[in-house]
Every structure is written in structure tokens, then in C-alpha cells.
Amino acid sequence: MKKYLLSIAVASVCFAACKNTTTLPEIKPTLVSQKTPHDTDDPAIWVNKNNPAQSIVFGTDKDEVNGGVYAFDLDGKIINDKSLTGVSYPNNVDIEYGFALNDSTKIDIMMFSEREKNQMRLYAVPDMTPLDNGGFPVFEDETDLELRRPMGISIYKNPATNKTYAIVSRKKGPTEGYLYQYELITNNSKVTAKLVRKFGTFSGQKEIEAIVVDDALGHVYFSDEGVGIRKFYADPAKGDAQISMFGSEYFTDDIEGIALATYTNNEGFLIVSNQQDHSFNIFKRGDNSYVKTLNLGTIETDGCDVTTQPLGSKYPNGLFVSMNDEKDFFFHSLDSLKLR
């Protein structure tokens, strides 16, 4: 009898750990993507401005030898000829538009961190041409290899100068200067990455992975996973002082992926994964005040991304994509989140 009761107790614990524990009603996804082979982590949405219904969701799949950055159509199906495989532990991925490759050519770009090679990668999208000659090394001045392993990445384009930067976090780092910021410089269509600053406070608890940049307002946000969401200036010229830290009281454990939904008149929302609660907390873009918590049905979400652009009949007012811990991604029509 005791063994039977113990089995029930163990099963109950497992059920609680493996299923969504929030008491909020579940907002079911519009669809769930095709599964990847290994371990999904972070998505990035590329909006096809000429044909929004042909937009692509890129999602990382972590493996030390045969990881990938998979391309999905808006039905959640893998697009094989747009997907990258044979990547050494791709972690986070981001998109930027209108990168000046030379004086006459502007392209859209995708960047991702390749942890096992201590580098970041740069590709043109949607043609998937590499622009980095095999990769840009990161954290090169660190003598301890454990401090060179990149995780999070976000791209910042300064609207005043059109300079483009990659901001990179890592698996382990110091209490100050955890993030490195690299300017992407072109010369006759050849791209190089130049370190321009080290910044970012770290609590020493857990790690820093998720980063998002608000290009228009010039802010960079990142998850100090054990304590809160930190906010800094994205432009190095504005200094390295922290603007604020917020959200601590709304998270159970592991503050993870951050997505920024932007609207006109500088309105918008930050959507942040509360990983161990299997939910998302919403904050206002301007003052970063708390708005609400949502249960979107995902398990232990690492990364997420959002666009407010219409993407066809399934997503008439935008799309939110989040990683799910079952080797797939959840696609939610942005309307279902009822942000405004």
C-alpha cells in the first residue's frame, strides 16, 4: 500500500513539473510547428515586406555537432532550402532589416550565436548567403574558455546613424561587462565585427541569455535570470550606466526570452517568459510597468519573438512565436494575446 501511495505521489510531482502549472486559462496556439531533431531554443521572425504571407520564422535547434537554424513557413512547416544544419550549438537568433552591405545595396540579415565555436554567425536573408567568412569570434580577450561561450544575441541599428551592432551575452561572465557589443562594418561588401564596448550588470545568479533591443527608443533589455529585467542604453555614446531593473516580483524562477511588440506613437509591450511557471509576463514599452500574465500553453519557454505586422489571414494583426520544450514552436496570432 505504501509503495502504491508513493507511486501516486511521484506521478503527481512529475505531472506538475511537466505540465503548465499556472491557474490562468490557456490561450491555445494558432498552430504548432513541425518538430526539430534535437532541442529548440529561440525563434526570430523575418517579415517579407513584399509578400507578408511568405514571411519566415527561424528557430534554433541545439546540438553540439548537428545543430541547426531551421526556417519555418507560416504553417509551421520546415523550409529545407532555407534551413542551416551542421551548426555547433546554435543558441539565440535575431533579425535586422536594411543593413548597408555597400553604398548601393541594403539587405536583411540574420545573426545567431554558435556556442561550441565561440563565435557569432551572419547571413543574408532570405537567400541565406553567409557574410562572415565562417564566423566572427567573440569574447576574444578572455583567457578562460568558459567565459567565451556565447548564448544570447540581439541586433541594434541606430536610426540616427544607421550603424548596426550585435550585442552578445554568454554562458558565464563577470558582474560587470557581461555583454559585449560589436559594430558590423562593411568595406566593399566584406563585413567585419569590431568590439566597441563591454557593459551590463550581472547579479551572479544563474546567467544572462535573452536580449532584445528597442531600436527606435534606443534601449536594450536583458534577463538577469535570477533577479529581474535590466535596461540600458543601446547606443555606446550614451554610456554604460543601468537605467533600471524591473519585474522581479512577477517571476517564479528563470526569467528567460524577451520579445518586443511595437506600435505607433512609441506604444508597445515587452513579453517575457516566466520559464518555470510556464507563462509570460507583459510589461509596457514606455515605463515598463506590469500589465498582465498569460498562459499560452508552452512548457519551459526559453526564447520568443513577435511582430505587429499583418502576415496574411492567419495572423491579420501580427504573430507571436515561442519555443516549447517538446522540440517545437508555438505560433499565436497576436490578436489572441489581447495586448490592447
Give the burial string for 61-92 (b: 16+ CB within 10 Å, else e).
bbbeeebbbbbbbbebebeeebbbeebbbbbb
Which pLDDT score, from 0 to 100, does residue 18 have? 40
Q: Are 141 and 75 in contact (CB under 8 A)?
A: no
The rounded distance, in Å, linking the Cα atoms of 130 and 73 is: 21
The rounded distance, in Å, linking the Cα atoms of 289 and 70 is: 34
The rounded distance, in Å, linking the Cα atoms of 277 and 59 is: 22
Cell of 178: 557581461
Which pLDDT score, from 0 to 100, does residue 22 have? 54
Instruction: State the DSSP H helix or E strand holding residue 281, giving kind and residue range, or none if neither.
Output: strand 279-284
Q: Are 133 and 141 in contact (CB under 8 A)?
A: no
The rounded distance, in Å, linking the Cα atoms of 154 and 93 is: 7
Neighbouring CB atoms inside 10 A of 292's CB total 14
Q: Are 330 and 322 in contact (CB under 8 A)?
A: yes
Instruction: State the DSSP H helix or E strand holding residue 16, giving kind and residue range, or none if neither.
Output: helix 2-18
SS3 162: coil
Instruction: Tell me how many helices (H) and strands (E) the chain has.
Output: 1, 24
φ and ψ of 62, to 5 deg: -85, 125
Per-residue pLDDT of the chain (340 residues; tens, 9 = 90+): 433 333 333 333 333 334 444 589 999 999 999 999 999 999 999 999 999 999 999 999 999 999 999 999 999 999 999 999 999 999 999 999 999 999 999 999 999 999 999 999 999 999 999 999 999 999 999 999 999 999 999 999 999 999 999 999 999 999 999 999 999 999 989 999 999 999 999 999 999 999 999 999 999 999 999 999 999 999 999 999 999 999 999 998 899 999 999 999 999 999 999 999 999 999 999 999 999 999 999 999 999 999 999 999 999 999 999 999 999 999 999 999 999 9
Nearest 5°: the CA angle 251, 254, 257 is: 95
CA proximity to 214, closest of 162, 265, 260: 260
Kindly report whether the peptide bond that precedes residue 126 is cis, defined as omega within 30 degrees of 0: yes
Cell of 324: 516549447
Which pLDDT score, from 0 to 100, does residue 23 have? 84
The rounded distance, in Å, linking the Cα atoms of 172 and 182 is: 18
Residues for the chain: how many in total?
340
pTM of the model: 0.93
Which pLDDT score, from 0 to 100, does residue 2 have? 37
Q: Are 120 and 138 in contact (CB under 8 A)?
A: yes
Measured CA distances, 6 to 10, 11, 12 (Å): 6, 8, 10
Instruction: State the DSSP H helix or E strand holding residue 8, giving kind and residue range, or none if neither.
Output: helix 2-18
Which pLDDT score, from 0 to 100, does residue 253 have? 83
